Homo-oligomer: A and B are copies of this chain.
Amino acid sequence: MTPSDSEHPLRTVSYVVLGLLEAAGPQTSYDLERNVEISVGFFWPFPHSQLYREPHRLAVDGLVTATRESSGRRRTVYTITDAGRAALRSWLAEPADPAQRRDPAMLKLFFSDASPDIVAGLAAHRVADLEKTITFLEQPGLGGPEGSSTRRTVDWGLSLCRADLAFWRSLLQDQP
C-alpha cells in the first residue's frame, strides 16, 4: 500500500467532485459549481463552499492535482489523477446505500390530523411545484442524447415527479 492513499475517508461530495472531473475534464471550483447546478445538484444540492473545500482535501490525498494560476484571479484548476480514477471506480463498484427522501410536505400530510383543513392548500402548492419542475425537465434537449447518463437521470427525475404529482392530484380530488 502506498502512503498516498487511505488517508481521509471519502464522502459523497468527494465522489461527485471526482466524477465531474473525470467526466468533464479539469475544472476550477467554480466550474464544478456550475456543473453541479445543472446536473447532480438538481436532486442532490451542495452549498458552494463544499466544492471549494473538498477538492482541496482530495489534493492532499493525491486523488486530484491542483495547479494555481500565477496571475489574474490565481484560481486553482483541479485534475483527477490515476489514484482518483481508481477511487472513483472502486466506489462505483460498491453496492449503493439506500435512497432517502426528505419531503416536508409529506411530513405535514402525515401530521395533518392535527389540522385537517391544511391538506387542500398543501396539495395545491405541491401540485403547482411539481408541474413547474416537470415542465423544466421536459425541455427538449435538456438531458443530452438518448442513452447518455445525464439523459437517464432526467428521465428518472421525470418519472418520479410524475408519480408524486399523481398522488397529490388524487388527494385533491378526494377532498375538494
Contact = CB atoms under 8 A, between A and B. Distances in A.
Interface of A: 12, 15-16, 19, 22-23, 39-40, 43-45, 85, 88-89, 91-93, 95-115, 118, 122, 125-126, 129, 148-150, 152-153, 155-156, 159-160, 162-164, 166-167, 171
B111 A152 contact: no
A5 to B, nearest CB: 18
Nearest to A100: B102
Given A106-B156, A114-B19, A155-B167, A95 B45 contact: no
Contacts of A12: 104, 107
6 A-B pairs with the lowest CB-CB distances in the bound complex, closest first: A19-B111, A163-B163, A96-B105, A99-B103, A96-B104, A100-B102
A44 to B, nearest CB: 6
26 contacts: A12-B107, A19-B107, A40-B110, A43-B101, A44-B102, A89-B114, A92-B108, A92-B115, A96-B108, A96-B122, A96-B126, A97-B104, A99-B102, A99-B103, A102-B102, A106-B156, A109-B149, A109-B153, A109-B156, A110-B149, A110-B150, A152-B171, A155-B167, A159-B163, A159-B164, A159-B166
